[in-house]
Amino acid sequence: MYMNIHFIFLQSQIISHYKAKEVTNPKEEKMAESKENQASMHQEVGHKSLLQSDALYQYILETSVYPREPEAMKELREITAKHPWNIMTTSADEGQFLNMLLKLINAKNTMEIGVYTGYSLLATALALPDDGKILAMDINRENYELGLPVIEKAGVAHKIDFRVGPALPVLDQMIEDGKYHGSFDFIFVDADKDNYINYHKRLVDLVKVGGVIGYDNTLWNGSVAAPPDAPMRKYIRYYRDFVLELNKALAADPRIEICQLPVGDGITLCRRTT
């Protein structure tokens, strides 16, 4: 009932866009695009960072991220890079950020919505204490199983309770049950953007006071600041309105403090205050 048909359609859009890119000469494509769209194209950026300098982003990765990336995360990143949907993975710098954040807040009981091959999940699992827990949800088990051997080898699989299926009914069940209210230290949301508002309604109850919810991709490839008539990929345009609505709703929500960071594709941290 909650299965998101748009997501499947748009996922195929993302994939076909990137497949199409593979067979095009990127230089020619860039030149054609810049001639056609110079005036109106929003500043579309690489999907791994919103920094306006690729060289600066590369500097961060090479100086501070890759040298400190745990071996298991490197292995999972390399496996994921070969997967056709690899555009969806969390970037290495964001993985490092999540890992650090979880340690800073001493997170123990966490949730992740949107696992894919598990890069952010592994960043989380490595940060939690040995008796830490992650309730991880995704509609796709196959991709999770691609990364699972690496997670097992890293000795952190026992922290993960993976549930296949849409997340919303699971959240509803937990709300109804009652015992999960205020029980999560950290929740990472990185799934169907058109459901983020629905997730937020439930997650504010499930996260503890002082706990943090992180909504990923809240800058949505920079499109949130583009003029409405700027040319955009179909999936960017489709989800853009949902991301704009979410950003407004989070900024107006008196139950949380927020901080929107330009890490990866933008992450908004929400700290529950009441």
d(CA 248, CA 231) in angstroms, rounded, equals 23
d(CA 39, CA 230) in angstroms, rounded, equals 9
90 is a site residue for ligand SAM (CB under 6 A): yes
113 is a site residue for ligand SAM (CB under 6 A): yes
192 binds, among ligand SAM, Ca ion, none (CB under 5 to 8 A by kind): ligand SAM
162 binds, among Ca ion, ligand SAM, none (CB under 5 to 8 A by kind): none
Residue among 166, 148, 261 at smallest CA distance from 212: 261
Binding mask 122-151 for ligand SAM (x = CB under 6 A): ---------------xxxx--x--------
d(CA 137, CA 160) in angstroms, rounded, equals 10
- CB nearer to ligand SAM: give 5 or 55: 5
Sheet of strand 207-216: strand arrangement: 160-164, 133-138, 109-113, 184-189, 207-216, 267-272, 256-261
203 is a site residue for ligand SAM (CB under 6 A): no
124 binds, among Ca ion, ligand SAM, none (CB under 5 to 8 A by kind): none
d(CA 60, CA 262) in angstroms, rounded, equals 14
Residue among 94, 88, 185 at smallest CA distance from 144: 88
119 binds, among ligand SAM, Ca ion, none (CB under 5 to 8 A by kind): ligand SAM
The Cβ of residue 89 has, within 10 Å, a number of other Cβ atoms equal to: 25
Structure-derived torsion over alpha carbons of residues 66, 49, 45, 26, reported in degrees to the nearest 10: 10
* Cβ proximity of 240 and 248 under 8 Å: no
* Cβ proximity of 238 and 10 under 8 Å: yes
Could you say which of 57, 97, 116, 186 contacts ligand SAM (CB under 6 A)?
116
114 is a site residue for ligand SAM (CB under 6 A): yes
69 is a site residue for Ca ion (CB under 5 A): no
217 is a site residue for Ca ion (CB under 5 A): yes
Binding mask 177-216 for Ca ion (x = CB under 5 A): -------------x-------------------------x
- CB nearer to ligand SAM: give 32 or 81: 81
Amino acid at 28: E
92 is a site residue for ligand SAM (CB under 6 A): no
**Which residues are at the interface with ligand SAM (CB under 6 A)?**
4, 7, 88-90, 113-117, 119-120, 137-140, 143, 166-167, 190-192, 195
**Which residues are at the interface with Ca ion (CB under 5 A)?**
190, 216-217
